[in-house]
Structure 1
């Protein structure tokens, strides 16, 4: 479990960016696969999530994840739900203690948020589509709606794919430049003609800076390069493997 330094001093918050290590799943899912959306054995996923919940000191049924669809949609959490009843969204916020908000990733950026004084937390799944679509800003606004203050919000960007591993095509590049010409700085030329390398963590960090929140931290680990520590959708695709696991990043308010 990795941690972000600005979160470690928050008295009312527990958090962790979990790796793929320390679980019971086998094969391509080894070992702490927390994604029910994978084809892994569901009992293994359940046990893995229970281990994560234990690390956070929360009941397994209160470790919550949404059905992620690369959207800007945010859910305000007031009570737990069953995994098969998870709402379609890509972010959650809550002011309820004792419930952990979890984000599943395998290259996208997990972003955790907290206003320690207001006792408000949030978690967002920021792939390129969600980030350009406004999921980070929507999460911040939802937290403010629960009583958080913008300048007190702390955010941490967890492990995700790094620029030197994220090659994209011209259509992807052009979409970002059509949205804002200044986005050109997040791209560099690839060794392959007509392709580019995209800096997802840099782009996510700038979106957070533009939102004018209090503190932003980066864990700074690459899910693609560190194969022993992280699951990676892109690495799985390059290897032509049939499926992939998902690591979880989560935080909760202490009782």
Structure 2
């Protein structure tokens, strides 16, 4: 039976999860005819309406879109996602915010007092572009307060597997403690950099939860780094405010 990894378990108003490879391919960006079927099964297991899902295109940028009820369903049943968008924010209960990954970071955030939630996809380019900071700025615009925001980073390619060349290393010279050198090879800890970006923005360290699971090491995750051209799918992260109406 496929399973999901859940986040923010102590909250009564928000739910968030990460669906791994056991659900099959959940991304319309990968070839395959069963994406919709896989998504329908996932949403049924969560007692959610797939038509309420909203998906960003994810172009390794930092554009964050505020989602209102009229945008429900964009990217849910086909690839009519929100073009050029990297992350999503909403205050509307019942709307399901989604993002896809096959190694990259999915960063979930919510303010339990202001009832504002967000999610953003970030590969190394998104981390370099401060995508998580853009997410926070958009949440603050919607009434969130930094001191209340809680963050979770889902399974992603860990430093042990994220070897990069010198051109990428040069992009992160401001984060020397997040770069490891072994036998002349460079490995970057992207989640650690995101954590530092959050702390600079005065997010309390105790409110930042980072998964230690590696999508490249563990075979139950899709991994573009591990599988290369044979990678046949994407995984899905979801976050939503409970609709109590």
TM-score, length-scaled by structure 2: 0.90
Is the Cα–Cα contact under 8 Å of residues 104 and 121 in structure 2 kept in the other structure? yes
* CA pair 52-210 structure 1, distance change in 2 beyond 3 A: farther
Partner of 1:86: 81
Partner of 2:222: 231
Is the Cα–Cα contact under 8 Å of residues 58 and 99 in structure 1 kept in the other structure? no
Partner of 2:41: 51
How far apart in 2 are the matches of 1:211 and 1:249? Answer: 24
Is the Cα–Cα contact under 8 Å of residues 167 and 190 in structure 1 kept in the other structure? no
- What are the residue-to-residue correspondences of 1:1-255 with 2, within 5 Å? 1-4=4-7, 7-21=8-22, 23=23, 31=24, 33-41=25-33, 44-78=34-68, 79-83=71-75, 84-87=79-82, 88-177=84-173, 180=174, 183-191=175-183, 193=184, 195-214=185-204, 215-227=207-219, 229-237=220-228, 240-241=229-230, 243-255=231-243
Structure 2: where are the runs of 5+ without partners?
none
Displacement of 1:189 in angstroms is 1.5
How far apart in 2 are the matches of 1:174 and 1:151? Answer: 32
Structure 1: where are the runs of 5+ without partners?
24-30
Q: Secondary structure at the match of 1:3?
A: strand
Deviations 1:190-241 (A, max 9, x none): 43x4x311111211222222222241101221000001x200010122xx42
Q: Secondary structure at the match of 1:48?
A: helix
Is the Cα–Cα contact under 8 Å of residues 128 and 171 in structure 2 kept in the other structure? no
How far apart in 2 are the matches of 1:45 and 1:110? Answer: 20
Q: Secondary structure at the match of 2:27?
A: coil
4+ long deviations beyond 6 Å: none
Q: Greater helix share, 1 or 2? A: 1
Is the Cα–Cα contact under 8 Å of residues 6 and 15 in structure 2 kept in the other structure? no
Q: Secondary structure at the match of 2:98?
A: strand
Q: CA RMSD in A?
A: 1.4
Q: Secondary structure at the match of 2:108?
A: strand
Q: Work out the number of aligned pairs and report it.
A: 232
Is the Cα–Cα contact under 8 Å of residues 109 and 125 in structure 1 kept in the other structure? yes
